[in-house]
Amino acid sequence: MITKYHAKYYANLLTQKAVGGELSSISQSLMSASVDINPHQIDAALFAFKSPLSKGIVLADEVGLGKTIEAGLVICQYWAIGKRKIIIVCPAALRKQWSTELIDKFGIDNIILDTKNYNEAIKNGRSPYPKNKVIICSYNFVARRKAEILMHSFDISIIDEAHKLRNVYRKSSKTSHAVRDALTTTKKLLLTATPFQNSLLELYGLTSIIDEHIFGSEKSFRSEYGSGENNADLRSRLSAMYKRTLRRDVKEYINHTNRLPLTQKFDSTDAEYELYQAISDFLRRNDIYSVPAQQKKLTTMIIRKILASSTFALISTLTNIKSRLEKMLETASMLLFTTEDLIDDDEEIDLYMDDDEDIPAEEEDVVEIDKLKIEIELLQTFIDKAKHIKQDSKSEALLQALDKSFEMQAKEGASRKALIFTESTKTQAYLKEYLEANGYEGKIVLFNGRGSDPKTTQIYKNWCEANPSKVSGIKSVDRRMALVDYFRESADIMIATEAAGEGLNLQFCSLVVNYDLPWNPQRIEQRIGRCHRYGQKHDVVVVNFVNIRNYADVRVFNILNEKFNLFDDIFGASDEILGKADAIDFETRIWEIYQQCRTEEEINEAFDRLQTDMQVEIDERMKDTRHQILENFDIDVQEHLRVAKDEASTFLNRYEHILWELTKYVLDGKAKFDDKQHSFLLKKSVANCACGKYDLLSQLQDGAPYRLSHPLAQYVLDKAMVLDTDNYNSEIVFNNKDTGINVVLPEYLRCQSGYLVLSRLQISSFEDEQYCLFSAFTEDGKFLTQEEAEKLFLCGGIEKINTQIPDTIVSRLNANSKQHIITTIKSVDSRNLSFFKEEEDRIYRWERDVIDGIEQELDIVKRNIRETERLARQAENIEERISLEAKAEDLCRQKRRKRNELENREDEISVRRKELIAKLERKMIQTTSSDNLFIVRWSTN
């Protein structure tokens, strides 16, 4: 039981803004995340808030350690403190995953902004950048709209797969330049496991994305750090911007299970093989209307992927292409080709092309009618052959694989669950029908972006009726939850498409089946990661299919298996190998082999070349450089994370207790509470929140997740903030046994009494921040510390009224409070001065870099002059001497220009430095305000 004074204090504590990298600076995000958060992720989020003057950081954890969660914590905290102009920039294929993660794990609404809905918003007179929604878009989208994104002045930008921008220092990197320019005024959080791969200049480029005033020119950086002799200095300069955690650092508390590969080989039938060869030869031709020259790669890649997926999907695609050619025949003219001509599902289109990529108009070629008719007839032949294939060898192999895998699961004591992935919704529909006809009737659930089949619709409807308090109102989110719950409780098999499967957490399933195998290793890693993740209790079986009759398929599987270690390594692919795959465009290289190679000998030669290129030959020097500059070689790092874990656990227990007790107080009479389960049943709707069961996030079971950012929690906070506590006639009797957490009071505070005041201090400087400050003493005059007063308010209590507090006591409390406020302001001043000095030092280092760069160029000219003059003196004939003297004179003129440039640049840089420091000084000016929340007498028993 708590009092209204507890409630008002709790509400202010839960909403206060803090600065400086303490746990309180991310308190709101920690309490709003519906996911187990590991200590290194908390450590990374705190790093992002370490300095209010920082223009951004790079989170460079190794693959598989949850950089998305770290970024989510930062986003969530920004959201909680009202800074809601947030943009996430990522590869197009990752947009849906980001959207899902933000909603599922942090309850934050968002919008994927692409050309289509951007144009729709403009057409309807709406802003394409809605308020109270995180914006998620691709690199290309930002690059094309850099001017308006720059004008929008986002509070923070998250750049995922940021290594794609690390060559920004090169003039040819136009997209990188555009993204950098669009976000130049925005605080940035860059995510990458490979901040540099082959050169320190990549690190220079990535750092300049955040702040162009860290280093001087590219030349001066290369001169200063290119030799590797100054790595310690470089590490020091980057230490405030880069945070990297290694797998070995976290193995103590992230206990991954194994991956067990199961390779199901099959032999295609003669009819299947003949059709494959015929279509393959057709796709290699350069004179067909089905594959426009401008989009040959995209078109042939899509058809080849579908060809490997299923005959059922192939029929649909070929029919779409044939229909397009028939329209061409009717109009006797070329038609603009779109991806939708091949695929009629938006989520599949995202897998094959980056959004907003302009499709070039086709040349106005004359259509050869006879040639077009022959091609239409050929396509019809392919369709007829496909329809006559009655025996699908791959789906038969699927039945065998499921039998073996379920047997393995039974031996392990794992649940009988299988997650089957396919890139095609057509293949998904075929597999459902096939499996239901072969022993799995009523045991299958589909998961795709549409969710429009009758069974899925019924599952969603039943779930909404059974779980009214879980319904968020966002249909895509609720449907996802309904299907996952159904898979957990009722189905044996979930068949998921690629895009829909992003962001799923299916730790209760330990069997992943790649029915068709993507050529992108990152996508395979994401698939397996749906089940093989933190919280998985069993080894995960990974099933892959290999058509032994298709030699190219065999080689693709071998390289994915042996080179990437995707299927049997505890952590999957390494940073280096994924970085290398990205660098050489692995997916395009595979496509080229399928397009260009027909014989086994040609295929072998091409794959041998690819494997040679895939050798991760980052030399020992580069590995050592990465270790010296980025990795934490502090031998106490694991101890640091252990301490962080304990502190975070204590912190969360305390703050969840506070939220729980506050909710009980405000919703008294409106809800029925279960203290053991930390859940409550809302009996009367408030703040437009549905009646029903709610669970605290840490105790989430079958109720709606109750987090600090939930509208119901916001209602609770708002009510508590305006409670009337202005009277000076109350006493709180604290009872440390009447509390949901263990509170140990010092011996001298037991059976004691006294007085206290709670003041609220607000400071606006580099950032806005608030403090709840206690000033308290006992009847016998002993002062309580801030921590001791906070402990009192963790105890339950009752209020006694008609306890008049003497004016002398009030005056004394106010005087003590004023002194506490002054001390706190001085402490903030001192901390801010430290931030200021760090930034000032960084600016001076940047100035020195720029000047040093020009001086080095001047020194080179001087050396050239001396060398030229020496050669002139040693000339063997007059013509050579005159030529060298003329060259020396030119160099002298160049020297004078360099000196003038140096003087001018020194003046310019000095002015720029003074401007930057003056800007910092203006930010440092504080405005403060304070008020008393309440004054009470207190006693303990």
Looking at the domain covering 54-65+80-250, what would its CATH class be?
alpha beta
For range 321-330, the mean pLDDT: 90
In sequence order, what are the residues at sequence separation of 6 or more whose Cβ sits closer than 8 angstroms to the Cβ of residue 630?
Answer: 60, 195, 235, 238, 242, 244
User: Is the CB of residue 646 less than 8 Å from the CB of residue 253?
Assistant: no
pTM: 0.69
The residues spanned by each domain of the chain are 54-65+80-250, 270-387, 392-570, 728-848+904-941
pLDDT on residue 235 = 84
Is the sign of the CA dihedral 263, 268, 273, 276 positive or negative?
A: negative
Residue 642: predicted pLDDT:
62
Interval 768-778 mean pLDDT: 93
Predicted confidence at residue 633, as pLDDT, reads 43
pLDDT band at 640 (very low <50, low <70, confident <90, very high): low
Quote the DSSP letter at residue 287. Answer: S
Question: Quick one: pLDDT at residue 155?
Answer: 94
Go through 335-354 and write b for each residue having 16 or more CB atoms within 10 A of its CB, e for each that does not: bebebebbbebebbbbbbbe
Separation CA 437–CA 439 (nearest Å): 6
Q: Is 831 exposed, middle or buried (0-12, 13-18, 19+ CB in 10 A)?
A: middle
What local confidence, expressed as pLDDT, does residue 357 receive?
41
Q: How far is CA 522 from CA 210, 383, 577, 789, in A?
A: 26, 33, 11, 52
Which pLDDT belongs to residue 489?
93
User: Per mean pLDDT, which of 355-369, 634-648, 785-799 is the most reliable?
Assistant: 785-799
| One CATH from 3.30.420.130, 3.40.50.1980, 3.40.50.300, 1.10.3720.10 for 392-570 | 3.40.50.300
Q: Taking residues 801-807, what's their average pLDDT?
A: 87
Average pLDDT on 335-354 reads: 53
Residue 409 has pLDDT above 80, yes or no: yes
Strands 242-243 and 679-682, by their bridges, are unpaired
Q: How far apart (Å, rounded) are the C-alpha atoms in residues 871 and 860?
A: 16
Q: Please report the DSSP string for 113-146 in residue order.
A: --HHHHHHHHHTT--SS-TTSEEEEEHHHHHHTH
Q: Which residue has the higher pLDDT, 932 or 449?
A: 932
- pLDDT tier at 564 (50, 70, 90 boundaries)? low
Residue 501 is predicted with a pLDDT of 58
pLDDT tens sequence across 143-154: 999 999 999 889
Tens of pLDDT, residue by residue over 184-212, are: 999 999 998 878 766 788 888 888 899 88
pLDDT of residue 623: 57
Distance CA(843)–CA(507), nearest Å, equals 48
Residue 352 has pLDDT above 70, yes or no: no
The mean predicted confidence, pLDDT, of the chain is: 83
Using 50, 70 and 90 to split pLDDT, how confident is the model at 894? Answer: confident
Confidence of residue 715 (pLDDT cuts 50, 70, 90): very high
**22 has a pLDDT exceeding 90:** no
Instruction: Please list, residue by residue across 626-657, b when 16 or more beta carbons sit within 10 angstroms of its beta carbon and e when fewer do.
Output: beebbbeeeeebbeebeebbeebeebbebbbb
pLDDT attached to residue 879: 86
Is pLDDT above 80 for 916?
no
Comparison of pLDDT for 136 and 472, the residue scoring more = 136
Highest mean pLDDT among 36-50, 590-604, 764-778, 901-915: 764-778
Q: What tokens were used for 418? A: 């299988």
- pLDDT (0 to 100) of residue 356: 38
The token pair at 691 is 């009646």
**Does residue 216 register a pLDDT over 90?**
no
Whether residue 533 has pLDDT greater than 80: no
b/e code 262-298 from CB counts within 10 Å (16+ = b): eebebebeebbeebbeebbebbeeeebbbbbeebeeb
Contact 276, 549 (CB under 8 A): no
User: Given this model, what pLDDT does residue 395 score?
Assistant: 93
CA distance 788 to 795: 11
| Alpha-carbon span 891 to 885, nearest angstrom | 10
| Rounded mean pLDDT, 839-846 | 81
Find the mean pLDDT for residues 176-184: 91
| pLDDT top residue among 338 and 392 | 392
pLDDT at 630: 61
As a whole-number percent, the residues of the chain with pLDDT over 90 amount to 32
Residue with the bigger pLDDT between 278 and 687: it is 278
**Mean pLDDT value of segment 703-713:** 87
Report, as an integer, the average pLDDT of 885-891: 88
pLDDT recorded at residue 615: 64
**Residue 503 is which amino acid?**
G
Three-state SS string across 752-767, please? CEEEEEEEEEEEECCC
Secondary-structure percent of the chain, ordered helix, strand, coil, rounded to 5:
55, 15, 35
Token pair, residue 188, equals 């940035």
Q: Is the per-residue pLDDT at 635 higher than 80?
A: no
How do residues 63-110 score in pLDDT, each as one tens digit? 777 888 899 999 998 998 889 999 999 987 678 778 888 888 888 889
pLDDT at res. 809: 94
Q: What is the mean pLDDT of residues 452-478?
A: 82
Average pLDDT over residues 551-568: 76
Mean pLDDT across 590-615: 81
Confidence bin at 627 (pLDDT 50/70/90): low
